[in-house]
């Protein structure tokens, strides 16, 4: 019999007092700037028309963003915890039809790059595996100067206008009164903000999916998020979206695994990337673009300038243009990974911006952040940030200046220096902004074309397999289950119901609540004096499902098991041939084998040889591996009695990983959940066990098992 939802309880006396204290602070107090000026609209930056570029004169945005940028020193305000690596970009064929950028037209040059991949919410000391967005930034050291492609592992974002970025981060960070929780979104302030921001619902679907807990940084997609421009030498413009797809496929761990990995090895992703490069298993992505003619800007069911929307690959396919390879670890983490300074405004001729209001705010903000974090406008002279193209200008002095300039001229125009450094003509590579026509009123408004907040959230959810949908439901139950304020849970359920009522109902069941009657949520994209009737709208988009949005439907480019970690559960008396045959087969396929045993050092094989042990059962855990093999051995019954071994196998089974046991090792499975059954991903009696095991591992997980577990 289905349990009745738990009734909403009254707030405790302590909670009521907290609420009253907060009310006493906020009630009847108008929002102002730091100078006391009352603010009419704290949701929208000042733009040239509701789809126009942000204006430099927006002193309210400047004050808000400047204050935010300087809040934490010297750690990054966001993306504090990161891993980095050197590499290169190799172009497949010239793109002169679309862009005049030299590095996108010269196939003879491998462009050096540095990549930094990071979590967003946590501090430098947090774990690698929170449920979080991953920043994925690429610095291209091109012949024409630095180009920074500052993206994420998700193609959309929480907000539409940069004015709301400080609010988003304030909400997701540890709560101000106690700095709890660390690197987690499962708390009241984050979901309070989200429940009042319907524009966030598409990103919430991504963040609650397994995309937020990747198996490896090498197994993540990358996205430029914003719509940019390509400009060719005829000054013709095309809109462009950037994608980078991993050669190893896009994979994740389960949430239960992520929590256990954080306890066993909080540097799991950092170590994985470092070891892969150190061992010559260079991570590789294919860089691709979605190119849209300027004339097609308004032909979609959504607005191209809206950063909470993606362009379905069924509508505009991704065209591969080159590959990204990371092949060298940093020599010094601080000097390179920590001091590297990215900025979406670092561009080269042939690439330009659009009026995406989130992008416009980022262009405004990043230099200010680097000034605060690195302490000087000379951050470009730090070795990791230096351009390989010659740098000549009249900037001088300031702290930590590295360049020793000669001569007495530091101004332009001049005659004493022969007019140098001189301005470059466009034909010689001089940068000029795209001459987009602008004719608009100065307004603080959101375009009505940005008002559809649910259609693409529904598209994402409907594109997932039942397994992935179930993971999203469980993630929402976990996150909202940590929220103490019931009203916030109910508001969020109301928003989820506008995506999919069954989704909302299943989440509500886990919370002991009922989905509230639908209300029209206020669109936070309007100002205090703006038209309050501008509410979120529902659009019927042409694309109903997109396979590209599902990880399970796109496991890998070739079902490779390259770099996968396989645990061999061993003890004294393990069979020599069983170990060597499986090890050789797996390593030939590119996997890495680790021998796990009761103690470190060596153990004796059945033939009396010494077998080197990589990890003991005290150190090892199944969550750190992609598959488990139990070799044949004369002491298999003894292995079966070890609690650590049973726990290892049970967790591996619970997390839908493939398990193989050879001959007498079937004995080890008897007292575990993993009963021998090939149809359940537990392989034992097979004429070619290694071949079958490798084939199964190539599919990543046996998700059908999840229903039984």
| Residue 46 · residue 59 · CB < 8 Å | no
Contacts of 641 (CB under 8 A, 6+ apart): none
Q: 3-class SS at 500?
A: coil
Q: Which residue has the tokens 């994209």?
A: 525
The pairing of beta strand 237-246 with beta strand 228-231:
antiparallel
Closest to 630 measured CA to CA, from 604, 663, 586: 663
Q: Which residue has the tokens 């051995």?
A: 633
CA distance readout (Å), 231 to 239, 344, 356, 433, 439: 9, 17, 17, 9, 21
For residue 63, report the phi and psi dihedrals to the nearest 5 degrees: -65, -45
| Residue 651 · residue 676 · CB < 8 Å | no
Q: Which helix (H) or strand (E) holds 261?
A: helix 255-264
C-alpha 348/C-alpha 346 separation (Å) is: 7
| Residue 604 · residue 573 · CB < 8 Å | yes
Crossing angle for the helix pair 486-497 and 466-481, nearest 10 degrees? 160
Q: What is the DSSP letter of 149?
A: E
Token pair belonging to 215: 């198996």
| Residue 334 · residue 210 · CB < 8 Å | no
C-alpha 141/C-alpha 367 separation (Å) is: 18
Question: Which residue numbers are catalytic?
Answer: 79, 152
First-residue to last-residue Cα distance in the chain? 21
C-alpha 208/C-alpha 422 separation (Å) is: 52
Q: How many CB atoms lie within 10 A of CB 83?
A: 22
Q: Which residue has the tokens 């992935």?
A: 468
């Amino acid at each position: 019999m289905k349990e009745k939802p738990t009734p909403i309880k009254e707030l405790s006396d302590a909670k009521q007092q907290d609420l009253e204290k907060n009310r006493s602070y906020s009630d009847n107090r108008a929002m102002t700037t730091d100078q006391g000026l009352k603010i009419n609209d704290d949701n929208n930056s000042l733009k040239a028309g509701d789809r126009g570029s942000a204006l430099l004169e927006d002193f309210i945005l400047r004050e808000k963003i400047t204050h935010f940028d300087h809040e934490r020193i010297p750690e990054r305000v966001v993306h504090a915890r990161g891993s980095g690596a050197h590499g290169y970009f190799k172009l497949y064929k010239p793109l002169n039809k679309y862009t005049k950028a030299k590095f996108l037209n010269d196939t003879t040059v491998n462009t050096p790059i540095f990549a930094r991949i990071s979590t967003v919410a946590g501090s430098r000391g947090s774990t690698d595996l929170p449920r979080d967005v991953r920043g994925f930034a690429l610095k291209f050291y091109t012949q024409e100067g630095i180009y920074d492609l500052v993206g994420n592992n998700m193609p959309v974002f929480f907000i539409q206008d940069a004015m709301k970025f400080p609010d988003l981060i304030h909400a997701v960070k540890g709560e101000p009164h106690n700095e709890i929780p660390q690197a987690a979104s499962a708390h009241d302030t984050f979901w309070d903000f989200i429940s009042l921001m319907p524009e966030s619902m598409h990103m919430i679907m991504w963040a609650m999916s397994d995309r937020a807990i990747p198996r490896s940084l090498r197994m993540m997609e990358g996205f430029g998020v914003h719509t940019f421009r390509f400009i060719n030498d005829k000054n013709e413009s095309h809109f462009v979206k950037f994608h980078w797809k991993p050669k190893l496929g896009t994979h994740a761990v389960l949430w239960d695994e992520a929590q256990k990995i954080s306890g066993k090895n909080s540097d799991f992703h950092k170590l994985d990337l470092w070891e892969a490069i150190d061992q010559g298993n260079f991570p590789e992505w294919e860089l691709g673009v979605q190119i849209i003619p300027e004339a097609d800007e308004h032909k979609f069911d959504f607005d191209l300038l809206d950063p909470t929307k993606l362009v379905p690959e069924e509508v505009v396919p991704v065209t591969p243009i080159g590959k990204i390879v990371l092949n060298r670890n940093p020599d010094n983490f601080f000097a390179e990974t920590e001091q590297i300074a990215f900025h979406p405004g670092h561009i080269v001729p042939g690439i330009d911006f659009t009026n995406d209001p989130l992008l416009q705010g980022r262009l405004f903000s990043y230099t200010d952040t680097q000034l605060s974090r690195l302490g000087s406008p000379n951050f470009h002279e730090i070795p990791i940030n230096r351009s390989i193209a010659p740098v000549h200008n009249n900037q001088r002095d300031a702290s930590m200046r590295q360049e020793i300039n000669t001569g007495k001229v530091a101004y332009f125009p001049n005659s004493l220096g022969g007019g140098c450094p001189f301005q470059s003509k466009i034909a010689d590579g001089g940068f000029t902004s795209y001459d987009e026509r602008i004719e608009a009123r100065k307004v603080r408004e959101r375009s009505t074309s940005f008002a559809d907040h649910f259609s693409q959230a529904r598209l994402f959810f409907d594109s997932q397999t039942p397994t992935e949908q179930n993971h999203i439901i469980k993630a929402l139950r976990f996150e909202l289950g940590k929220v103490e304020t019931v009203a916030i849970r109910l508001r969020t359920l109301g928003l989820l119901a506008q995506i999919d009522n069954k989704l909302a109902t299943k989440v509500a069941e886990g919370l002991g609540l009922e989905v509230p009657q639908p209300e029209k949520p206020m669109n936070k994209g309007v100002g205090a004096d703006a038209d309050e009737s501008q509410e979120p709208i529902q659009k019927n988009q042409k694309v109903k499902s997109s396979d590209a949005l599902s990880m399970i439907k796109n496991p890998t480019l070739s079902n490779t098991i390259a770099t996968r970690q396989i645990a061999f559960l061993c003890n004294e008396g393990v069979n020599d041939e069983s170990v060597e045959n499986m090890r050789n087969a797996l390593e030939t396929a590119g996997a890495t084998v680790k021998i796990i045993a009761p103690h470190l050092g060596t153990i004796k094989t059945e033939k009396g040889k010494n077998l080197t042990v990589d990890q003991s059962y005290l150190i090892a855990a199944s969550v750190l591996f992609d598959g488990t093999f139990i070799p044949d051995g004369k002491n298999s019954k003894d292995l079966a009695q070890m609690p650590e071994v049973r726990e290892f196998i049970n967790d591996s089974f619970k997390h839908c990983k493939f398990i193989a046991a050879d001959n007498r090792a079937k004995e080890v499975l008897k007292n575990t959940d993993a009963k021998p059954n090939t149809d359940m991903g537990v392989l034992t009696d097979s004429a070619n066990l290694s071949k079958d095991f490798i084939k199964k591992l190539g599919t990543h997980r046996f998700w059908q098992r999840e229903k039984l577990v």
